[in-house]
């Protein structure tokens, strides 16, 4: 076990790295962050900030030599960089899991190979694959770039072959997936923490609502049938086992109008839909990330209260700072801001959690706060 006072490394200095840093500090660890942005939210709090590119081998070696172990806060760190780092210190999760999660083709193929369901899809490497896709799949469809898409970016709805070919060209002909747009009854996610020896703590299923392709609210526990929730938890745990995963992982699911569970995405890190765990769980997802990284057993993922998490996007700052005093007047609300200097539309600036004895009450309070901010 890596014990307090050791230095832990994190690749990426965004809000996830910041909340990892806060959790690590609370537990007595030091933190070094690698992120090219000199004003990154995590870099500002960390004991050390190496401002360098994720491909910079000298910087990676410095991080690896100083840290007892290194983790990542986002999946677009080049997997080769994780491989390189692993020669200098333990890296958790490992490069292979990140390599799968950062590429939609690898990810969806991995899910299918483990007998778990995804939306029907074909892998697209060239225009001919799109023609093949149109003979196998039913429109409406989505064309998604295999890499670097997030929050609805890098994807387009395509209903005809011509539209799909045009979209492919517009993306610059990168590897893509063409998938059927399924009719959604709900979107849910499962967060879990899997330790070095495979011991796994799974959080209850969260119900996610998106606006404009970006997560807006997470409600926990999700308002879905118990059998569906149990199945989602089981599917997520099977994926983590299949990956031989060590760390915190999120699995996003679609629940179709027919009630079927489809896996949409795997995130090899804590997830926005798990931010409620900061206030409503016995162990937060960021403490779990520290624990798994250090080879400690996962903490208890017990939910202490129904909770609603609301994201705060830069749009809220359009003409003035939000009226925080309104939020602070609500004793059940917990504000988390990420220390970002500039608010831009769509940029995640913070979130708040509302805890109440029942979910409907929490939803009501959260909506009141949102309207007043
Ligand atoms: P993604 O970037 O793949 O997570 O997609 C962003 C959002 O687009 C999802 O959260 C869904 O709301 C929607 N979406 C993506 N793929 C599909 C699909 N195959 N069918 C229906 N909705 C989808």
Per-position DSSP letters for 185-219, written without gaps between them? EEEEEEEEEE-TTS-EEEPPPEEEEEETTEEEEEE
pTM for the model = 0.96
What number does the ligand 1 atom closest to the CA of 144 have? Answer: 3
Domain membership of residue 111 (yes or no) is no
Number of domains in the chain: 3
What number does the ligand 1 atom closest to the CA of 141 have? Answer: 19
Contact between 248 and 285 under an 8 Å Cβ cutoff? The reply is yes
**Same-domain check for residues 173 and 226:** no
Per-residue confidence at 359, pLDDT binned at 50, 70, 90? very high
**Same-domain check for residues 82 and 125:** no
Domain boundary among 91, 111, 137: 91
Domain membership of residue 107 (yes or no) is no
**Same-domain check for residues 74 and 41:** yes
List the CATH number of the domain containing 146: 3.30.1490.20
What pLDDT is recorded for position 151?
62
Domain membership of residue 104 (yes or no) is no
**3-state DSSP assignment of residue 362:** helix
First to last CA, the chain: 44
**3-state DSSP assignment of residue 79:** helix
Question: Helical H runs in 146-261?
Answer: 161-171, 226-243
Radius of gyration of the chain (CA): 20
Domain membership of residue 98 (yes or no) is no
Query: CA 132, CA 129: separation in Å to the nearest integer?
Result: 5
Per-residue confidence at 76, pLDDT binned at 50, 70, 90? confident
Query: CA 120, CA 363: separation in Å to the nearest integer?
Result: 34
Cβ–Cβ contacts within 10 Å for residue 3, how many?
12
What pLDDT is recorded for position 319?
87
Closest alpha carbon to 298 in 317, 277, 327: 277
**Same-domain check for residues 164 and 61:** no
Domain membership of residue 201 (yes or no) is yes
Provide DSSP, 32-61.
Answer: EEE-S-TT-TTTTTSSEEE---TT-HHHHH
**CA-to-CA dists, residue 338 to 120, 267, 273, angstroms:** 37, 20, 16
What is the domain extent for residue 279?
184-372
**Same-domain check for residues 295 and 363:** yes
What pLDDT is recorded for position 150?
64
Per-residue confidence at 283, pLDDT binned at 50, 70, 90? very high
**Same-domain check for residues 197 and 69:** no
Per-residue confidence at 152, pLDDT binned at 50, 70, 90? low
Widest Cα–Cα separation across the chain: 59
Centroid of ligand 1 to alpha carbon of 219 (angstroms)? 18
Centroid of ligand 1 to alpha carbon of 253 (angstroms)? 10
**Same-domain check for residues 196 and 169:** no
Q: Please tell me the least confidently modeled range out of 76-90, 125-139, 146-160, 234-248.
A: 146-160
**Same-domain check for residues 237 and 334:** yes
Centroid of ligand 1 to alpha carbon of 310 (angstroms)? 19
**Same-domain check for residues 173 and 212:** no
What number does the ligand 1 atom closest to the CA of 150 have? Answer: 2
pLDDT digits (tens, 9 = 90+) for 296-343: 999 999 999 999 999 999 999 988 999 999 999 999 999 999 999 899
Domain membership of residue 67 (yes or no) is yes
58: pLDDT strictly greater than 70? yes
Domain membership of residue 62 (yes or no) is yes
Per-residue confidence at 107, pLDDT binned at 50, 70, 90? very high
Per-residue confidence at 88, pLDDT binned at 50, 70, 90? very high
- For the chain, give the mean pLDDT: 96
Pocket of ligand 1 (CB under 6 A): 119, 142, 149, 152, 155, 179-182, 184, 187, 210, 213, 264-265
Domain boundary among 40, 74, 91: 91
Q: What is the mean pLDDT of residues 260-278?
A: 97
Mutate to test the pocket of ligand 1, among 118, 152, 217, 262 (most ligand atoms within 8 A of CB): 152
**Same-domain check for residues 82 and 168:** no
Mutate to test the pocket of ligand 1, among 180, 264, 311 (most ligand atoms within 8 A of CB): 264
**Same-domain check for residues 170 and 200:** no
Domain membership of residue 100 (yes or no) is no
**Same-domain check for residues 155 and 230:** no
List the CATH number of the domain containing 31: 3.40.50.20
Question: Residue written as tokens 């926005």?
Answer: 272
What pLDDT is recorded for position 153?
74
List the CATH number of the domain containing 250: 3.30.470.20
The reply to whether omega before 93 is within 30° of 0 (cis) is: yes
Domain boundary among 150, 180, 210: 180
Percent of the chain topping pLDDT 90: 95
């Amino acid at each position: 076990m890596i014990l307090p006072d050791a230095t832990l490394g994190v690749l990426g200095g965004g809000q996830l790295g910041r909340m990892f840093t806060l959790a690590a500090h609370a537990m007595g660890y030091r933190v070094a962050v690698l992120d090219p942005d000199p004003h990154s939210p995590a870099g500002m709090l960390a004991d050390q900030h190496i401002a360098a590119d994720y491909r910079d081998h000298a910087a990676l070696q410095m991080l690896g030599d100083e840290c007892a172990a290194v983790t990542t806060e986002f999946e677009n760190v080049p997997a080769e960089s994780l491989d390189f780092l692993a020669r200098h210190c333990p890296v958790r999760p490992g490069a292979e899991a990140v390599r799968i999660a950062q590429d939609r083709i690898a990810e969806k193929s991995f899910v299918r190979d483990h007998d778990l369901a995804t939306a029907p899809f074909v892998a697209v490497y060239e225009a001919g694959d799109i023609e093949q896709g149109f003979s196998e799949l039913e429109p409406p469809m989505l064309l998604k770039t295999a890499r670097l898409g997030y929050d609805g970016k890098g994807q387009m709805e395509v209903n005809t072959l011509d539209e799909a070919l045009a979209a492919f060209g517009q993306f610059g002909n990168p590897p893509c997936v063409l998938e059927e747009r399924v009719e959604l009854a709900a979107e849910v996610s499962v967060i879990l923490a899997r330790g070095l020896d495979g011991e796994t703590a799974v959080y209850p299923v969260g119900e996610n609502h998106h606006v404009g392709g970006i997560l807006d609210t997470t409600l926990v526990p999700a308002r879905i049938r118990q059998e569906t929730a149990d199945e989602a938890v089981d599917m997520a745990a099977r994926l983590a086992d299949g990956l031989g995963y060590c760390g915190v992982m999120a699995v996003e699911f679609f629940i179709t109008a027919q009630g079927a569970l489809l896996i949409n995405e795997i995130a090899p890190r804590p997830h926005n839909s798990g931010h409620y765990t900061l206030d409503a769980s016995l162990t937060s997802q960021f403490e779990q990330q520290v624990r798994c990284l250090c080879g400690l057993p996962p903490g208890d993922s017990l939910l202490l209260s129904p909770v609603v998490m609301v994201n705060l996007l830069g749009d809220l700052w359009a003409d003035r700072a939000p009226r925080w005093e309104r939020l602070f007047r609500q004793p059940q609300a917990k504000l988390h801001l990420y220390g970002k200097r500039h608010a831009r539309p769509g940029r995640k600036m913070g979130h708040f959690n509302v805890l109440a004895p029942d979910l409907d009450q929490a939803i009501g309070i959260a909506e009141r706060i949102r309207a007043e901010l």
